[in-house]
């Protein structure tokens, strides 16, 4: 009978065994601990052997079974175990195969990461530092860290919560608050809050790959401003195989039918992928259809935080939320005939599922959507507010200008995205004198640690919230959205700074043809009247008001606060130098060039050759440069020049007389064809 031996209670070892459940292949898997044994599936073709072995014991074990292959799926850092397995295989004549745990993204470009080759090197390095240290490398080499001065006050060890491990920690001086007994893997959020709670400035980890939670540790440490000390992996054999390669090798060697789990011949050729909305987080809130899909699928796919409740349910899983990685995984695992891709909330509300359906369909998969409860719906129901009564947005993974939305909407509900989103928004609300806005924040919704907090911007300014929280902003003084341009000149702070007057401003803005997501340079912004009107026109646009006059800069800031234009940034300096580091513009308004008109246009076109230009010319010298612009940039066929003469009434006794304004030339050119 066909037989293999697997050494290792690692996630890869378990997954390798699970892929051959109920096949004719007999699998003997050796694990070191009872805990590891308890995670393995109970099947007739799987035998579990528990207990550590030295080389001689391994030889006896292999000789008694005479397997076709021995697969070494031990931990990447278990160098001694790997050495013993290799020697035992060599001396018994059993073919050896090393299962390689794939490494993940390189963090070496981050200044916060220190790489070492051993626990001794890590301890030696940390001995010359200050600050608390969270050690997440287990108990095996814990004694090495006792070489650190004041280790009893500086070092906190996170280890398995077994009696033997706790006794070892105690014997080394790790007791009370300096030892944390928890079983992983740990999500990024738990790592992050643990670092914050401990006030740890250092985290020690191994490059243990996705299964070992390496990515979550690194991202949590970087986010918590804790520096990482990473112990590099020992060098692996050149002939080592990944999990998928090992499965493929065994299937080919034993000629195992990859369709054995699909007795229905009519459906064998169709591979199904369920895109499942998992709701706010609690397992109690997922629908019955989602639960059935999770129970019956071949593999679970998703971010670690969402997978975590299901990791120990004898189900293979793949930790990823990226579309390209999920597609690559499914292509590399043809034995997977049904996969469940898990997403938080509902797949239709700012979900990572966006675009996934089309990508899977192009590859021939049958895509089945499964709805969940969107977290805003749960949150608003808790508050007794209909979700059709609010403006729903998300700041998760994207920057959103919330102030314009709050200014115009009675209620705005958003996923906050970053832990400081509430603090920053409160600051802006106070700056814009929007003190009466009421904010309600829901944190860890549906979990036992759920918290709902309400208050004013001043009251919540210093509160800290989880990055996946939701916030409801209620503005009793919301303003209607302005229809069109043309704010009266008298409404701006002006002093004696030049200003683009109302009538010229309206025509100039119409010639700009601002579109969604625009980035506008207002060069020589003066009082900022054009900048303010442009910023008010679309909440998804962004304006850089570039001005060299300090008095004018002060006026622009006053007008920004008066009109509450969060999407307006004031840049003090001379063009074109001032916009060297700014985002590339889609539109440019030139109210004053300081004699640098040609150079300004040249530098803008270097950033974006399709930028749309509108300039106002009042002086004869500027008008004379129009022909030079044509010669330099070949925009003659595209250019439009409009001369505008306006006159405004002024009172004189009991009468009104018309006072003529200086003629203004409005020159426009450039932009994509759809904007002309």
pLDDT tens, residue by residue, 504-553? 999 999 999 998 889 999 999 999 999 999 998 888 899 999 999 999 99
Q: Is 426 in a helix, a strand, or coil? A: helix
Instruction: Provide the pLDDT for residue 267.
Output: 36
Q: What percent of the chain has pLDDT over 90?
A: 47
Q: Is residue 524 part of a domain?
A: yes
Instruction: Provide the pLDDT for residue 399.
Output: 75
Question: Are residue 528 and residue 612 in the same domain, yes or no?
Answer: yes
- Report, as an integer, the average pLDDT of 23-28: 89
Instruction: Provide the pLDDT for residue 266.
Output: 39
Q: At residue 110, does pLDDT exceed 60? A: no
170 Cβ neighbours under 8 A, 6+ residues apart: 179
- Reported as a single tens digit per residue, the pLDDT across 161-191 is 888 899 999 999 998 889 999 887 687 888 9
Instruction: Provide the pLDDT for residue 483.
Output: 63
Cβ proximity of 318 and 300 under 8 Å = yes
- 443: domain CATH number? 3.30.950.10
Q: Which helix (H) or strand (E) holds 472?
A: strand 470-474
Instruction: Provide the pLDDT for residue 166.
Output: 93
Please report the beta strands in 278-419, taking only residues with DSSP state E, as ranges in sequence order: 299-302, 317-319, 338-343, 366-370, 391-394, 411-415
Q: Is residue 107 part of a domain?
A: no
- Report, as an integer, the average pLDDT of 9-21: 82
Instruction: Provide the pLDDT for residue 106.
Output: 47
Which of the listed residues 449, 474, 499 is the one where a domain comes to its end? 474
Q: At residue 265, does pLDDT exceed 60? A: no
Q: Is 314 in a helix, a strand, or coil? A: coil
Which phi and psi angles does 603 have, rounded to 5°?
Answer: -70, -35
Which of the listed residues 347, 373, 399 is the one where a domain comes to its end? 373
Which phi and psi angles does 391 have, rounded to 5°?
Answer: -95, 115
Instruction: Provide the pLDDT for residue 1.
Output: 64
Instruction: Provide the pLDDT for residue 264.
Output: 41
Q: Is residue 483 part of a domain?
A: no
Query: What angle separates helix 550-563 from helix 529-537, to the nearest 10 degrees?
Result: 30
- 294: domain CATH number? 3.40.1010.10
- 502: domain CATH number? 3.40.50.150
Q: Can you spell out the DSSP letters for 572-597?
A: ES-TTGGGTTSPPPSEEEES--TT-H
Question: Are residue 358 and residue 391 in the same domain, yes or no?
Answer: no
Question: Are residue 329 and residue 203 in the same domain, yes or no?
Answer: no
Q: Which helix (H) or strand (E) holds 547?
A: strand 542-547
Cβ proximity of 60 and 3 under 8 Å = no
Q: At residue 329, does pLDDT exceed 90? A: no
Confidence of residue 268 (pLDDT cuts 50, 70, 90): very low
Q: What percent of the chain has pLDDT over 70?
A: 94
Q: Is residue 252 part of a domain?
A: no
Please report the beta strands in 3-78, taking only residues with DSSP state E, as ranges in sequence order: 3-7, 26-31, 46-50, 69-72
- Report, as an integer, the average pLDDT of 486-503: 89
- Report, as an integer, the average pLDDT of 642-656: 86
Instruction: Provide the pLDDT for residue 119.
Output: 93
Q: At residue 611, does pLDDT exceed 90? A: yes
Question: Are residue 179 and residue 33 in the same domain, yes or no?
Answer: no
Cβ proximity of 588 and 521 under 8 Å = yes
Confidence of residue 439 (pLDDT cuts 50, 70, 90): very high
Question: Are residue 558 and residue 584 in the same domain, yes or no?
Answer: yes
What residues does 648 pair with on adjacent strands? Answer: 659
Confidence of residue 69 (pLDDT cuts 50, 70, 90): very high
Q: Residues 506, 510, 511, 514: is their CA dihedral positive or negative?
A: positive
Q: Exposed, middle or buried by CB within 10 Å (0-12, 13-18, 19+), for 407?
A: buried
Instruction: Provide the pLDDT for residue 448.
Output: 84
Q: How far apart are CA 445 and CA 279, in angstroms?
A: 10
**In the chain, helix, strand, coil percent, each to 5?**
35, 25, 40
Mean pLDDT across the chain: 87
Q: At residue 310, does pLDDT exceed 50? A: yes
Q: How far apart are CA 547 and CA 522, in angstroms?
A: 8
Question: Are residue 494 and residue 634 in the same domain, yes or no?
Answer: yes
Cβ proximity of 610 and 623 under 8 Å = no
Q: Is residue 242 part of a domain?
A: no
Q: How far apart are CA 166 and CA 171, in angstroms?
A: 9
Q: At residue 480, does pLDDT exceed 80? A: no
Question: Are residue 132 and residue 194 in the same domain, yes or no?
Answer: yes
- Reported as a single tens digit per residue, the pLDDT across 362-380 is 888 889 999 999 999 999 9
Q: Is residue 575 part of a domain?
A: yes
Q: Taking the C-alpha atoms of 41, 47, 52 and 54 in order, what is their torsion angle to the nearest 10 degrees? A: -140
Question: Are residue 501 and residue 625 in the same domain, yes or no?
Answer: yes
- Reported as a single tens digit per residue, the pLDDT across 582-593 is 999 999 999 988
Query: How many structural domains is the chain composed of?
Result: 5
- Reported as a single tens digit per residue, the pLDDT across 226-256 is 999 999 888 888 888 888 889 889 988 988 8
Q: How far apart are CA 607 and CA 591, in angstroms?
A: 20
Q: How far apart are CA 259 and CA 307, in angstroms?
A: 26
Instruction: Provide the pLDDT for residue 261.
Output: 46
Cα dist from 59 to 6, 36, 55, 89, 92, whole Å:
14, 22, 6, 7, 6
- Reported as a single tens digit per residue, the pLDDT across 455-476 is 999 999 989 898 889 999 999 9
Instruction: Provide the pLDDT for residue 441.
Output: 96
Question: Are residue 565 and residue 470 in the same domain, yes or no?
Answer: no
- Domain assignment of residue 402, given as a range: 376-474
Q: Is residue 104 part of a domain?
A: no
Residue 320 DSSP label: -
Cα dist from 237 to 59, 67, 99, 219, 382, whole Å:
21, 22, 10, 29, 56
Q: How far apart are CA 559 and CA 529, in angstroms?
A: 8
Q: At residue 39, does pLDDT exceed 60? A: yes
- 126: domain CATH number? 3.40.50.620
pTM of the model: 0.53
Q: Which range has the worst mean pLDDT, 128-142, 198-212, 260-274, 536-550? A: 260-274
Q: At residue 111, does pLDDT exceed 60? A: no
Other CB atoms within a 10 A radius of the CB of residue 55 amount to 15
Confidence of residue 313 (pLDDT cuts 50, 70, 90): low
Q: Is residue 517 part of a domain?
A: yes
Question: Are residue 548 and residue 670 in the same domain, yes or no?
Answer: yes
Which of the listed residues 427, 445, 474 is the one where a domain comes to its end? 474
Q: Which residue has the higher pLDDT, 250 or 332?
A: 250
Question: Are residue 466 and residue 521 in the same domain, yes or no?
Answer: no
224 Cβ neighbours under 8 A, 6+ residues apart: 192, 195, 196, 200
Question: Are residue 334 and residue 382 in the same domain, yes or no?
Answer: no
């Amino acid at each position: 009978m066909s037989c293999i031996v697997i050494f290792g209670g690692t996630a890869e070892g378990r997954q390798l065994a699970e892929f051959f459940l109920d096949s004719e292949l007999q699998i003997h898997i050796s694990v070191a601990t009872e805990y590891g044994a308890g995670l393995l599936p109970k099947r007739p073709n799987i035998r579990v052997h528990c207990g550590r072995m030295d080389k001689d014991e391994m030889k006896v074990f292999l000789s008694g079974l005479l397997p076709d292959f021995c697969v070494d799926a031990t931990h990447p850092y278990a160098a001694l175990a790997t050495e013993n397995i290799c020697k035992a295989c060599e001396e018994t004549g059993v073919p050896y195969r090393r299962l390689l745990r794939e490494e993940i993204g390189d963090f070496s470009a981050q200044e916060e990461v220190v790489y070492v080759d051993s626990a001794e090197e890590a301890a030696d390095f940390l001995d010359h530092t200050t600050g608390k240290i969270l050690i997440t490398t287990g108990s095996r080499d814990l004694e090495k860290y006792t070489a650190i001065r004041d280790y009893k006050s500086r070092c906190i060890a996170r280890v398995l919560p077994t009696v033997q491990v706790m006794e070892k920690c105690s014997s080394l001086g790790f007791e009370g608050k300096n030892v944390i007994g928890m079983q992983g893997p740990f999500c990024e959020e738990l790592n992050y809050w643990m670092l914050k709670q401990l006030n740890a400035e250092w985290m020690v980890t191994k490059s243990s790959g996705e299964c070992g939670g390496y990515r979550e540790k690194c991202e949590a440490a970087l986010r918590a401003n804790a520096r990482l000390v990473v112990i590099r992996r020992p060098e692996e054999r050149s002939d080592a195989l990944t999990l998928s390669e090992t499965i493929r090798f065994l299937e080919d060697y034993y000629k195992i039918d990859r369709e054995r789990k699909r007795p229905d011949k009519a459906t064998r050729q169709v591979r199904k992928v369920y895109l499942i909305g998992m709701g706010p987080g609690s397992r109690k809130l997922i629908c019955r259809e989602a639960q059935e899909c999770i129970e019956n699928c071949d593999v679970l796919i998703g971010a670690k935080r969402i997978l975590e409740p299901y990791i120990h349910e004898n189900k293979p899983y793949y930790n990823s939320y990226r579309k390209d990685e999920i597609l690559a995984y499914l292509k590399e695992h043809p034995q997977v005939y049904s996969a469940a891709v898990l997403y938080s909330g509902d797949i239709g509300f700012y979900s990572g599922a966006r675009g996934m359906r089309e990508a899977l369909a192009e590859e021939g998969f049958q895509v089945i959507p499964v709805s969940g409860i969107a977290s805003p719906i749960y949150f608003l129901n808790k508050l007794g507010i209909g979700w059709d009564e609010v403006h729903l947005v998300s700041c998760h993974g994207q920057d959103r200008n919330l102030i314009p939305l709050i200014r115009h909407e009675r209620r705005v509900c958003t996923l906050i995205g970053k832990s400081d989103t509430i603090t920053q928004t409160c600051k802006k609300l106070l700056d814009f004198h929007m003190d009466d806005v009421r904010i309600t924040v829901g944190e860890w919704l549906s979990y036992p640690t759920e918290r709902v907090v309400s208050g004013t911007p001043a009251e919540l300014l210093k509160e800290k919230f989880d990055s996946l929280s939701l916030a409801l902003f209620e503005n009793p003084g919301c303003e209607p959205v302005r229809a069109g341009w043309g704010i009266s000149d008298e409404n701006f702070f002006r002093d004696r700074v030049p200003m683009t007057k109302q009538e010229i401003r309206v025509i100039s803005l119409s010639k700009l043809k601002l579109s969604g997501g625009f980035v506008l340079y207002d060069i020589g912004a003066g009082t900022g009247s054009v900048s303010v009107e442009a910023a008010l026109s679309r909440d998804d646009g962004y304006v850089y008001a570039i001005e060299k006059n300090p008095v004018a800069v002060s006026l622009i800031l006053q007008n920004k606060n008066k009109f509450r234009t969060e999407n307006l940034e004031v840049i003090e300096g001379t063009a074109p130098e001032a916009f060297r580091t700014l985002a590339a513009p889609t539109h440019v308004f030139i109210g004053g060039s300081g004699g640098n008109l040609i150079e300004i246009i040249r530098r803008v076109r270097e950033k974006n050759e399709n930028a749309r230009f509108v300039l106002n010319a009042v002086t004869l010298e500027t008008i004379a440069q129009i022909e030079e612009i044509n010669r330099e940039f070949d925009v003659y066929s595209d250019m439009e020049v409009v001369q505008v003469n306006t006159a405004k009434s002024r009172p004189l006794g009991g009468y009104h007389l018309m006072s003529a304004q200086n003629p203004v030339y409005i020159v426009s050119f450039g932009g994509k064809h759809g904007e002309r």
